[in-house]
Structure 1
Amino acid sequence: MTMINLHDLSLPVAPHHHVGTEQRVSLTLQRGALCWIVGSSGSGKTALLETLALQRPFKGVFRLFDQDITPRTSSRTLTSLRQRIGFLEENPLFCDTLTVCENIALPLEINGVKRSEYLRETSTILSWFQLDLYADRLPASLPLLVRWQLACTRTLIRRPPLLLIEASPLISLPDFRVRLFSVLNDLAQSGSTILLTTNDDSICSDPPASILHLPSNTPSKRDSERDTLSPNLSAPYSDQRREPRLS
């Protein structure tokens, strides 16, 4: 099943990255794919994820979950599709009147999961990521990096079929990164499609994944070498051993 199919998607970018204020991107990812998108600030990484999360208008051809997305797609359909997407932003929002535990449990509670079950799931995921000491704290009292880690557990707890992560904070979180990659491997093997963005490809070596670099007006020698590789994003992540580039 093709999870993501973009053709000539227009992404807004900073002027120093591209002639004009936008560039065209094409991308295809199958069910179970795991992919990194690498680019510096202003290269369009956030705009790409926001488009995939159905949070911004777009120009181009866009299919998601084997369904065409157009300006005529109904609000009901978009709402249904958004419920299948987990989107972790670099600066996540919380309900600051609820404790950390209550915030993380909220997606399961909204989906009608029994209280005893969602409390158990919340306790388990906080313990796995060694964040249980924050369970009874209010999010506003915590540092931004801790809030991002907690938001990550909230995104993962419902195991969405499509997972979108602004992952640059992982550069400063080596221990958390190891645990997260273990979970992402399991999710991908179970069929979730996972797309992560970062400005530093040093964190992309594990788990095995496609690594794509958003084009720049001033490519480095390393970028030029990547240009010789043919894009091939149609196989699950376990078959990806090359570093294709976004077209």
Structure 2
Amino acid sequence: MIELKNVTKKYGNVWANKNISCVIEQGEFVYVVGPSGAGKTTLLEILSAQRSIDSGIARIGNIEIEYLKNEQIYKLRRQLGIVSQKDLFLPRLTIKENMETCMSALEIPAEKWEERMAEVLTSVEMMPFIERLPQELSVGQQKKIAIARALLNDPPVIIADEPTANLDVKSAKEIMQIFFRLNQMGTTIILATHDSTMVNSLRHRTLELKNGELIRDDPDGGYSRFSDPKDVYVW
């Protein structure tokens, strides 16, 4: 379970998150929506222990994030699957070498690397590209690799920031199908997006932010703000 109680974060005089409270149970699929600057990325960074808070309580399981020391923070992060808005790869290393670097950082025993790498890359249908360099892949393929990398530690929670940004509909559909499949297997998915059409087509619980505040927590999902009725996805 993830719990936020009156979580607040400011950058100077600007509220990034203001008195946000919510509970996310294990196994839920939750969209975090809102326009650019609404506070989505900051909220996800708080949930993944990448950003400190100014006040309130942020808890994952029985762990209160704001009281963790550096080593404890790193340990917590290793238990989460994080898919950032910008997929950072070591450009001179192959996908295999990038994955091995990540597994080393996660302290996964070296004798398990081959098996684990094959499992996660096969799950996103990217095993044939293991010897490619990141820049040789399309944006959608890179995103699939980023998801596979987030799965290496078999996390109970995946936090994804705008994973379908800059993708065509076909690639976005493939990415979302991966997240849905993971969720059906019991993984908690917290996914930030400003894509109202996708949220309306693929309904799940939706947290809507505006100017750093949580203005709506809708268990039935949907996001009408800035939506265009002409946009239709066929999933």
TM-score by length of 2: 0.75
TM-score by length of 1: 0.72
Are residues 1:46 and 2:35 paired?
no
Structure 1 residues 100-111: aligned runs within 5 Å: 100-108=95-103, 110-111=106-107
Give the whole-Å Cα distance in 1 for the aligned partners of 2:222 and 2:199: 11
SS at structure 1 position matched to 2:186:
coil
Structure 1 residues 1-247: aligned runs within 5 Å: 3-12=1-10, 21-22=14-15, 23-24=17-18, 25-59=20-54, 60-70=56-66, 72-108=67-103, 110-113=106-109, 115=111, 117-142=112-137, 144-170=139-165, 172-205=167-200, 208-216=203-211, 231=217, 240-242=219-221
Q: Quote the offset at 1:186 in angstroms.
A: 4.0
Give the whole-Å Cα distance in 1 for the aligned partners of 2:108 and 2:68: 27
Change (3 A) 1:165 1:125: same
Percentage of identical aligned residues: 23
Change (3 A) 1:98 1:171: closer
Structure 1 residues 176-206: Cα deviation after superposition (integer angstroms, max 9, x where no partner): 4444434433433443221000111212246
Q: Quote the offset at 1:143 in angstroms.
A: 5.2
Q: Quote the offset at 1:42 in angstroms.
A: 1.2
Of 77-86 and 173-182, deviating more is 173-182
Structure 1 residues 41-91: Cα deviation after superposition (integer angstroms, max 9, x where no partner): 111111111111111221222112222233x43333222211111111111
SS at structure 1 position matched to 2:210:
coil
Give the whole-Å Cα distance in 2 for the aligned partners of 1:108 and 1:65: 24
**5+ long unaligned stretches in structure 2:** 224-235
Structure 1 residues 99-124: Cα deviation after superposition (integer angstroms, max 9, x where no partner): 11222344445443454x53344345
Give the whole-Å Cα distance in 1 for the aligned partners of 2:110 and 2:148: 19
- Pairs aligned (count): 217
**5+ long unaligned stretches in structure 1:** 15-19, 218-226, 233-239
Larger strand proportion of the pair = 2
Aligned-CA RMSD value? 3.1
Give the whole-Å Cα distance in 1 for the aligned partners of 2:201 and 2:123: 19
Give the whole-Å Cα distance in 2 for the aligned partners of 1:9 and 1:96: 37
Q: Quote the offset at 1:158 in angstroms.
A: 2.9
